[in-house]
Structure 1
Amino acid sequence: MLEQFRISDFLEWHEAKTLLINKDFQRGSVWKPAAKIMLIDTILRDLPVPKIYIRSIIDRDTRKSKREIVDGQQRLRAIIDFAQDKITLSSRTKEYAGKKFSTLSDEDKDQFLQYPLSVDQLVNADDQKVLEIFARLNSYSVKLNDPELRHAEFQGDFKWSVHELANSLHNFWVDSGLFSPATMVRMSHTSLLAEMYGVVLNGIQDGGQPKVRALYRQYDKSDNFEREDVEGQIKRALDWISENILEDIEGTVLLRPAHFLMLFAAVTHCLDGIPKGALNDDEFDEHAKIGDANAIREALTELAATVELDEEPDERSDFWNASSSSLQRISSRRVRFPYFVEALSSEE
C-alpha cells in the first residue's frame, strides 16, 4: 500500500516510540556525515528521495499501530538526527552552510517538516512475506555500475566536482556525440571526466575503472585538490576543442571516449601543461604549444583515418597498433599521446 507521510509524522511516531527499527532487516548506522548532509539538502530543496518500506503492525486489542522500518533506516536516522540538532550542514549545501534545524528560517523549517516521504506499507506482514517482497524487488533492480558505485561511496569535494562539472557539460557531451542522454543516466560521462581530472592532476597513467576508483579514493579527503584550478583547465581544453576542431572530427573515432581522452590530454598539455605521469622523457614534449589551426585539423583527420584502417599501414603503424589494443593501458597511451601532441603542434 503506497502512501505519503510528512516528516513531521515520522518525528511524532519517533517521539511516541511507535517507530521501530527492525534489526533483522537493517544494517547499523553506516552513512557518512556527508551523505546525511546531502539528504537534508535534497529535502530542503524539495527534490525527490527514494521511498521507504514500513511494516505496520496493528494490535487488535489496543487498536494501536507500530511501524517497523524495513528499508530506509539510514534516511530516517539522518532526518531524525537533523531534527534533533545533531547534524550541522556543511558548505556543500551552500546557503544552508553552518545551519542546524533550530537555526533555519521559519520557512525552511516548514519545508523540512512538511516534506512528504513516499511509503510502502506492509500491513501485518510476517517475516517470510517481507523477505519475499525484497527478493522480488532485487530481482527487478538493475545492478549499480562502477560510476554509480563510486558516486554512492565517496562524498568528498573531488566526487562532487566531477559530478557537478559532468552535468554542467551536458550539451557538450550530446553535441559531440560522446554520450547520449540514456548513457548519462547511468553516469558513464563521469568516468571519462574523472579520467580527465586524473590527466590534469597526475599526467598520463594506466587507466580502467579500478584506476578511476583509486583516483577518487586518493583525492576524497585530500587537501591537495585545487578544485577551481582543475575545473578551469578542463573547461579551457573543452572550450578550445569546441571552438576549433569539434566540427572537423565529428563522426570520427576521435569522438569515442578512449580516443577523446588522449586528444583532451594533448590539448590540455599544449594549453596549460600537465605532469609527465608514467611517460618517458622521449614520449613527453614539455615545450609543446598549439600550432596552426588548419594544420591541426588536417593532422587530426589523418590520425582518425589511420585508426579506421582495416590493415596495418606503412606509416604510423605503431599508432595504428596502439589504437587497436587495450586503449586504457599505459602501453597504448604512451604511444598515442605523443601523436596527438605532434598533431596539435603542427605548423603550415
Structure 2
Amino acid sequence: MVISKGTAVAFCVLGMTLVGSSVAVSQLLLDYPTLTAQAVRYAAAAAVLFLIARRFPRLGGARPGIRPTRRELGILLILAATGMAGFNACIMLALHHDTEPAVVGTVIGAAPLGLALLGPLVAGRRARPSVRIVAAAAVVVAGTALVEGTGRATPVGLLGTAGALVGEILFSLLAAVVLPRLGAVRVAAYSCALAVPLLVVGALVAGEPAAWRLPTATEAGALAYLAGLMTVAAFVVWFIGLERLGVERAGMLVGLMPVATLATAAVMATALPGVGPAVGVLTVAAGLAFGLTGPTPIRQEPGAASAHPEPGPLGLVSPETIAEPTPASA
C-alpha cells in the first residue's frame, strides 16, 4: 500500500491523538488491577486485529498469507516485552513511588529526540542523523516539557520513568524493522498477542490475582475503548505512517501525545490551559513544522535502486533507500 507523505503524517497524528486522549479514559480504571487490565486490553485487541488481517489480508501493506519468521517473532517479542508490557510496568512503578504524572510525561516526551538519534542506526545507508531532524526533535521535546510541566519524583520513580522512555523508543524502532514484510495490521496483532502472557505473568508477580474480579460497566466500557481505539486503530494508523515516513520523522510526532492529553483535559474541564502549556503547544507545532517540511532525502532514480536494498544493523530497509516508481503517463 503506497500512501503520500501527507497521508502518512495524518495517520501518525491520528495515532498519537488517540493515545494522548486516552489518558482521561484510563482514569476510569484506577480501581482495577493495572496489569490485568492491560492484559485484557491487548487480548481483545489481538483478537480483533487477527480477524481484520484474515478478512482484509492486504490492509496495512502485507501480502496475503504472510507469517512472521522466527527472527521476526523474536523482534516482536522484544517489542511486546519492552514497548508494551515493560512500558506499562515502568509507568506503574514510577507512579507507585511518588513520581507525579507530569514528570513521567516530560521524560517520555524525550522520545522524539531518541528516535531522531537512533533511527539512522537501523535505517540502512545513512550513517548519521539529519541535523535538521535532530534540531526539530529537540524543539519538540522542549515544547513537550512545557506542556507537561514539572513535578515531584523519587529515584525509583525516575528509574521507572527512564524505563518507560526506553520502551517508547523501542516500540517504534523495532516495529520499523518488521513492518516492510509483515504490514501494520500483522505487526500490531502479533505484538499485542505476545504482550498478553507477559502481562499475565507480571500481574501474578505483582499479586494482582487477589484483586481479580469482573469489571464494572464503566470499567468494561473503558477497556473496550482502550482496546478498540487506542490499540487497534491507533497502532495500525501509527505503523502505516511510521513505515512511510521513517523512524526519525514519525518519531517527532510522538510529541503530540501530551498535547492531545492537554487538549482532552481542557475540553473535559471546560477551561483553557495555562500560559506555559499553551506556549508548549506552539513550540511543539514549530518543531514539527521545521522537521516535517524540510527537504526530502535524495532518492535513487527509478531503475537504479537495488531490488534488495542493503538493510541496516537490525535488518530495516530505510524508506529513503527505495526508489519510488514513476507514475504512469496519462
Q: Identify the TM-score tier after normalising by the shorter chain.
A: under 0.3
**What is the TM-score when the length of structure 2 is the normalising length?**
0.25
**What is the TM-score when the length of structure 1 is the normalising length?**
0.24
Higher helix share: 2
Say which one has the larger Rg: 1
- The structure showing larger relative contact order (alpha-carbon pairs under 8 Å, at least 6 residues apart) is 2
